[in-house]
Amino acid sequence: MTESDIAAVRDVLKSDWLTQGPNIGTFEKKLAELTGAKYAVACSSGTAALHLAMLAMDLGHGDEIVTSPVTFLASANCARYVGAEVRFADINAATGLISIKALEKVLRSDKKKKIKVIVPVHLGGQPAALGEIQGLAEAHGALVVDDACHALGARYRYRGREYRIGASPHAVITAFSFHPVKHVAMGEGGALTTNSHEIAEKLRHFRSHGIQKDAFINDGMAFSPENTLNPWYYEMQELGYNYRLTDIQAALGVSQLKRLNYSLKKRHDLAEKYHRLLRERFPDGGVRPLEAAPGVYNAFHLFIVLIDFIKFGLNRAEVMNRLRSAGIGTQVHYIPVYLQPYYRRRYGYNPGAFPEADSYYEKALSLPMYPQLTFKDCQRVIDTLKKILENSH
C-alpha cells in the first residue's frame, strides 16, 4: 500500500459515502478502459463475480458447467450456488491450462446438452486458449465465462489478432478478483466485464437484491395518481444478493489501477530473469517453468515451476519448509478441485480421474512473484532451491 492508496481511503472516510459512492463508478470506468470492455460491474469478491455470472447466464438445476480441475474452488463452486452441476476437463500438465482435447471429449459426451457454460481459468495469468474454447462452446450451444482472477492485464493471440482478457469476443463475461493476493488488492473485491449492455444490467440487478429502479411491473404502485414516480418506490423483480463493493474498497482499487502497467512490466522482467536462471541452473529441466502458448502476454499473477521431486529424492513439504527457513515463501496452486471431499462425495471421483491435473499437482510450486521483488531476490530463490534440491542425496 502506497501513501496515495492510504490517502484515497482516508478521503472516502471523510466523504459522505462509505458504500455505493462515486468511487464505484470511477473504478468501473477505469477497469473498462484498462480491459477494453464496454461495461464493468464491480462487486464484493471474485467468488461473488462468478456467482453473478452464473445468475446472469440463467444457469440452474439441470444445467452443467465445465471448468478446469486446477483452479481455486470458486471456479467450480459458482455453478453449485445456482444448483447446476460441475464437470471438469483435464488440463495440459505442461501449461496448467484446460486441454482443448479433454474439453472436446467432455462436450462430446454431453449428449443431452446439459452443459451451458464453460469456465476456463487463466492459471497464473496465462490466458487459456479462448479462441478455440469459444469455437467448441458455440458448436455445443454453450457460452464462455472466463475466470480471469489471475489475469488482469493479460492478452492472447488468436488467428493473427490480439485480444485483451476482459474484452474478448470469445467470452460473454469475464470475472476478476481483487483479494489481497491478486494484482489489485482491495481487501475483498471483484468485478465482471462484458460487452453486452443487457448482461451488464442483469449483473447490476443481481448485485443488489434484484432491485429495479426503472421499468416497473407494478406501475400502479410506482406512480402517483398524477402519474409522477413515487420517490420511495423500488421493485424487486428477481432474487438478488448483497454483493456490492464499498466505496472504500473502490477508492483503493482506483488508486492501485494506476500502477497496474508498472506492475505488469515488473512481473514480466522478473519472469524473464527466473526463466534465464532456471535454464542456467537446471539445464536438464529438473525445475522448469510452465510452458507458454505463442503470442500470449502473461499477467504473471504467479510464477509456477514444475519440479521433479521424485528425481531429486525429496518431497515438496520438505522443500517448502527448507525454503521457508531461508525466508522464502512458496505456495501450491492448486490442489485439484475434484479431489476435495465435497466434489468426491458429490460425483464419486477418485484420484487418477484427471491424470494431467494429478501430474501437474505433484510437481507444481509457486515461487515468489510480486513487483517489489528484485533480480537479486530471484537469484537467491533459485540458488537456494538448487542447494536444497541437490544436497538431498
- Residues lying near ligand PLP in the complex (CB under 6 A): 45-47, 71-72, 74-75, 121, 147, 149-150, 177, 179, 190
d(CA 28, CA 41): 6
Q: Rg of the chain's alpha carbons, rounded to an integer?
A: 22
Q: Which residue is nearest to ligand PLP (CB)?
A: 46
Q: Which is nearer to ligand PLP, 75 or 256 (CB)?
A: 75
Q: How far is the CB of 178 from ligand PLP (least distance, A)?
A: 7
Q: Which is nearer to ligand PLP, 177 or 194 (CB)?
A: 177
Please answer whether residues 215 and 209 qualify as being in contact, where contact means their C-beta atoms are separated by less than 8 angstroms: no
Q: How far is the CB of 200 from ligand PLP (least distance, A)?
A: 20
d(CA 60, CA 81): 9
Q: Which is nearer to ligand PLP, 69 or 286 (CB)?
A: 69
Collect all residues with Cβ–Cβ distance below 8 Å to 382 and sequence separation of at least 6. Answer: 274, 277, 278, 281
Please answer whether residues 64 and 76 qualify as being in contact, where contact means their C-beta atoms are separated by less than 8 angstroms: no
Strand order in the sheet with 143-147: 39-43, 190-194, 173-177, 143-147, 115-119, 64-67, 85-88
Q: How far is the CB of 386 from ligand PLP (least distance, A)?
A: 29
Q: Any idea how long the chain is? A: 393
Q: How far is the CB of 350 from ligand PLP (least distance, A)?
A: 24
Q: Which is nearer to ligand PLP, 206 or 309 (CB)?
A: 206
Q: Which is nearer to ligand PLP, 303 or 309 (CB)?
A: 303
Strand order in the sheet with 303-307: 287-289, 303-307, 364-367
Q: How many CB atoms lie within 10 A of CB 128?
A: 33
Q: How far is the CB of 121 from ligand PLP (least distance, A)?
A: 5
Q: How far is the CB of 264 from ligand PLP (least distance, A)?
A: 17
Q: Which is nearer to ligand PLP, 46 or 166 (CB)?
A: 46
d(CA 120, CA 66): 8
d(CA 150, CA 245): 19
